[in-house]
Amino acid sequence: MLQIKNLSVNVGDKEVLHDISLSIGEGETHVLLGPNGSGKTTLLMTIMGFSNYVITKGQILFKGEDVTKMHAHERAQRGIGMMFQRPPTISGLKLGKMLTAISRTKEENIPELAKTVHMDRFLERDINKGFSGGEIKRSEVLQLMLQNPDFVMLDEPESGVDLENISLIGTTIGGLLEKDKHIVNRKKSGLVITHTGYILDYIDADKGHVMCDGQIRCHGNPREILKEIKQRGYKECLECRNP
């Protein structure tokens, strides 16, 4: 589904990601762990195609196609989607209008869909304006439901969310990633940034990666890695120079 080959990325004059390689197969969900500022969000924003993240070296292949030089909308149209941790507030643009724009010609019943994530009362509100942490996540997941991407990136889906909302958001994300389907029939893939691991209760991640200082330092079973990090922190990861 997604292949990243020797990717280096600059933000401004500074190289933030160094020689990253990563492969995520069809139906797989991977978890990205790492301390604050290690480059996790930068990697997601780069995969999504945001222009502030300049690829200086390497390639991104999506479903076998080189998308390295494509704009964000071209990547989105090919099936890449992202749940943002801190999406911008757009003054005047109503959530409902944005959903209509996303849905294009699809005949979705937006109010009904919004109800499923308790966002029906927000359709006439400016997008993200005054939204709580949980409301932002529910708005993001609602947009993704309409977009229905094949590859879903989630940037800390549980941050700022209470337990009740984590269950709702986690279950919905599980649906987006076809976790309700048998593993052999699963076509959707994902890459999830998490600090707490709460989301793993809903999405059964296949693989974990630890990112430090803009590099992927190690790979493994996501729950085991998380357990290690919870016990020992990132000290050893930071010291590890041989991924």
Q: How far is the CB of 130 from other proteins (least distance, A)?
A: 15
3-class DSSP string for the chain: CEEEEEEEEEECCEEEEEEEEEEECCCCEEEEECCCCCCHHHHHHHHHCCCCEEEEEEEEEECCEECCCCCHHHHHHHCEEEECCCCCCEEEEEHHHHHHHHHCCCCCCHHHHHHHCCCHHHCCCEECCCCCHHHHHHHHHHHHHHHCCCEEEEECCCCCCCHHHHHHHHHHHHHHCCCCCCHHHCCCEEEEECCCCCCHHHHCCCEEEEEECCEEEEEECHHHHHHHHHHHCCHHHHHCCCC
Q: How far is the CB of 102 from other proteins (least distance, A)?
A: 5
* Residue whose CB is less far from other proteins, 102 or 161: 102
* Residue whose CB is less far from other proteins, 110 or 166: 110
Q: How far is the CB of 16 from other proteins (least distance, A)?
A: 17
Site pattern 141..160 for other proteins (x: CB under 8 A): --x---x-------------
Residue 91 binds other proteins, judged by CB under 8 A: yes
Site pattern 11..50 for other proteins (x: CB under 8 A): -------------------------------------xxx
Residue 92 binds other proteins, judged by CB under 8 A: yes
Amino acid occupying residue 68: T
Member of 88, 105, 182, 184 binding other proteins (CB under 8 A): 88
The number of CA neighbours under 13 Å toward the Cβ of 197 is 14
* Residue whose CB is less far from other proteins, 173 or 237: 173
Residue 186 binds other proteins, judged by CB under 8 A: no
Q: How far is the CB of 78 from other proteins (least distance, A)?
A: 9
Q: How many residues bind other proteins (CB under 8 A)?
A: 29
Q: How far is the CB of 106 from other proteins (least distance, A)?
A: 11
Pairing of strands 126-127, 53-62: unpaired
Residue 198 binds other proteins, judged by CB under 8 A: no
Contacting positions for other proteins (CB under 8 A): 48-52, 71-73, 75-77, 81-82, 84, 87-88, 90-94, 97-98, 101-102, 104, 126, 143, 147
